[in-house]
Amino acid sequence: MKMITSINFVKVVGFTLLAALSTAASSNSSVWKVSKNNDHVFIGGTIHVLPEEEFPLPDEFMNAYKNTDQVILEAQLPDPTDMQAQQAMLAQMSYGNGKNLKSVLSPNTFKSLENYFNVMGMDISPFVGFKPGFVVSLMAIIELQKAEISGEGVDAYFESLATQDAKKIDYLESAEFQFKMLSGLGEGYEDEFIQSNIELNSSFTEFFQHTLDAWREGDAKSLEALINTASLESDEKSYDALFTQRNKNWVPKIEALFNNKHKEFVLVGAGHLFGKDGLIQLLKSKGYTVEQKSS
């Protein structure tokens, strides 16, 4: 099996928390303008794995990019060819001291996980020493490959474009933070974490397509339903780690972008925008005006 790149590993984990969404015709987009005191930043909700046929992006994304001189992304991840960084990441995702998945999962859950890999034509043995966060991310990659879904994603596209255009690029958190967060997913509730993701993956392709449709149409109602209902019901602890706590950490960093000489475009996974603990509501509660951009 090919080495799993850190970019894929970190960014696809959120897909395992998805649930089916309804879509509706709309002229809105997944770009928001956040304003206060005659200054503003743009925030774009992204899809981390975007099929090539989904390009070009909605006009609102390109308009926001053209009208800013700095791009803010979630994190700068190690290059897939940086083997030292890859090995450090894998080491953090691995158990030690003789501990492994077979020893932390109940026999029934381990058997379910083993069956999942068997159905995919894979042996679970090479992955038994890894923590649940890694295994669930691997499952998401497998589901993407099975559905023949691939692409660099919106974040990677704008990172490349900003580099090409010599625009300033900054990040909301470090790669080390992301690896530590993901290595802790499922800790203390391993059975619940693995079982819920096995169940969600049974309809992965449908989940992804509904999410993609809602994102492209700027269907805020459906995306908010995703955050408020499906993710929380499937795994509240993982949702808190992946979304709620990070959103709260990001708000002061977004506030610091105001009243300076730059115009910024913040790009984060669409799941970070909605719900009572989403960035949109958190910024509104701070007194910012938040306007969804539309064509």
User: What is the tens place of the pLDDT at every residue in 63-93?
Assistant: 999 999 999 999 987 777 878 878 888 888 9
**The residue count for the chain:** 295
Q: What is the pTM of this model?
A: 0.86
pLDDT over threshold 50, residue 60: yes
Dist. CA 238–CA 189, nearest whole Å? 10
The percentage of residues in the chain with a pLDDT greater than 70, rounded to a whole number, is: 87
Average pLDDT on 14-38 reads 64
Strand (E) positions, the chain? 28-36, 39-46, 70-75, 168-173, 264-269, 289-294
Residue 292, pLDDT above cutoff 90? yes
